[in-house]
């Protein structure tokens, strides 16, 4: 009986040994687990999974906080045209190359609302009156406009701006006269002829018909100039030959009058502008001063 138990025990041990030897070798190979650890930047606080509070060293930034300027040149906005002293145009005004109407060369003009940068001041321009030197911020062009209160309003006392040295205004170019008249009417009691000049505009030779010398038998010659609209701009009466529209005589007529660098109709007349003008010449004989012969013609004046 004991031998039978012993035999069974040996048989069982043998079976277990055989099963152990039949297990595949790969089943006994140990498994390797790789853990990847990602480094966290030290200047970025990371909250602990077990805590909802931020680290003591972290400073919370409110959602509406305004970023602070870094102080670098690229972060500083460039000054706008209106960031400093400025002048605003109130009424359409010409932009000139000098302080005054005598500086006839126009650089342009500005409409109401235009904002300009004042850079200089001239209290007495040519002609009189204050003028301010300005820079057009759109193209950096520098010139002058009238400083009269009706034309411009500035954010500073213009008298505090530095004075600006300017050259005297240039002489105005002579107007160009065209559409010249014929040499006068024929067959009357008075013989007329005309002499045109860029220096004095015109003079008239007049003499009693049948005589040869300028002024013979003539009491007076009268000049009347009107705009095409009929508005009279000039009138003058001459009693001595040469009969010059702006007076004068031998050897020369008076020059075309100028005021503030501009040609004008007589010393106190309006400024000459380009356009068509009707000229009337009236002459009377010494034998009958009250009876005038009349000659009408049209001229065209153009300012360069």
pTM of the model as a whole: 0.56
For residue 97, being part of any structural domain is answered with yes
Together in a domain, 187 and 259: yes
Task: Establish if 119 belongs to a structural domain.
Answer: yes
Sequence-distant contacts of 290-299: CB under 8 A, at least 24 apart: 292/222, 293/185, 293/188, 293/189, 293/190, 293/192, 295/184, 295/185, 295/192, 297/181, 297/182, 298/179, 298/181, 299/177, 299/178, 299/179, 299/180, 299/181
Average pLDDT of the chain? 79
Greater model confidence, 76 or 267: 267
CATH of the domain at 98: 2.30.30
Q: Is residue 230 part of a domain?
A: yes
Instruction: Let me know whether 182 and 232 are in one domain.
Output: yes
Tokens standing for residue 289: 């001063």
The secondary structure of residue 301, as a DSSP letter, is E
- Which residues constitute the domain of residue 223? 176-302
Least confident of 44-48, 178-182, 195-199: 44-48
Euclidean distance between CA atoms 200 and 142, whole angstroms: 36
Q: What CATH number does residue 274 fall under?
A: 2.60.40
Last-in-domain residue among 134, 160, 186? 160
**Looking at the structure, do residues 186 and 288 belong to the same domain, yes or no?**
yes
Same domain, 282 and 220: yes
Residue corresponding to tokens 């070798």: 25
- Assign 102 a pLDDT band (cuts: 50, 70, 90): confident
- pLDDT bucket at 3, cuts 50 / 70 / 90: low
pLDDT at 110 over 70: yes
Residues 153 and 200 in one domain: no
What does the pLDDT average to over 77-101? Answer: 81
Report pLDDT for 4.
57
- Judgement on whether residues 182 and 294 belong to the same structural domain of the protein: yes
Q: Is residue 104 part of a domain?
A: yes
- Say if residue 153 is in the same domain as residue 202: no
pLDDT band at residue 233, thresholds of 50, 70 and 90?
Answer: very high
H/E stretch holding 198 reads: none
Whether 257 maps to a domain, the answer reads yes
With residue 9 as reference, give the H or E element that holds it: helix 2-21
9-30 tens-digit pLDDT: 656 555 555 554 444 444 444 4
109 and 136 co-located in one domain: yes
Domain count, the chain: 2
Angle at 255 between CA 251 and CA 261, to 5 degrees: 160
Is pLDDT of 251 > 60? yes
Which pLDDT tens digit goes with each residue over 137-189?
Answer: 999 999 999 999 999 999 999 999 988 988 888 888 888 998 877 777 877 89
Other beta carbons less than 10 A from residue 102's beta carbon: 20
Percent of the chain with pLDDT over 70: 72
């Amino acid at each position: 009986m004991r031998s039978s138990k012993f035999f069974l025990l040996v048989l069982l041990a043998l079976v277990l040994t055989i099963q152990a030897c039949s297990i595949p070798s790969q089943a006994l190979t140990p498994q390797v687990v790789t853990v990847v650890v990602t480094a966290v930047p030290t200047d970025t606080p990371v909250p602990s999974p077990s805590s909802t509070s931020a680290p003591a060293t972290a400073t919370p930034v409110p959602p509406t906080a305004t970023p602070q300027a870094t102080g670098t040149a690229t972060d500083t906005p460039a000054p706008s045209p209106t960031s400093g002293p400025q002048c605003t145009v109130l009424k359409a005004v010409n932009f000139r190359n000098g302080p005054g109407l005598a500086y006839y060369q126009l650089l342009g003009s500005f409409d109401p609302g235009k904002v300009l940068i004042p850079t200089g001041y001239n209290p007495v321009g040519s002609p009189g009156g204050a003028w301010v030197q300005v820079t057009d911020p759109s193209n950096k062009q520098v010139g002058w406009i009238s400083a009269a209160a009706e034309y411009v309003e500035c954010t500073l006392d213009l008298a505090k701006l530095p004075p600006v040295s300017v050259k005297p205004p240039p002489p105005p170019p002579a107007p160009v006269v065209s559409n010249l008249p014929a040499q006068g009417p024929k067959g009357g009691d008075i013989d007329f002829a005309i002499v045109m000049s860029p220096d004095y505009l015109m003079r008239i030779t007049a003499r009693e018909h049948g005589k040869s010398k300028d002024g013979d038998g003539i009491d007076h010659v009268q000049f009347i100039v009107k705009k095409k609209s009929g508005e009279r701009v000039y009138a003058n009466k001459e009693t001595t030959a040469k009969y010059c529209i702006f007076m004068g005589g031998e050897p020369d007529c008076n020059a075309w009058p100028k005021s503030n660098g501009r040609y004008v109709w007589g010393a106190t007349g309006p400024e000459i502008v380009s356009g068509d003008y009707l000229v009337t010449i009236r002459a009377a004989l010494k034998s009958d001063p009250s009876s005038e012969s009349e000659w009408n013609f049209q001229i065209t004046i153009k300012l360069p």
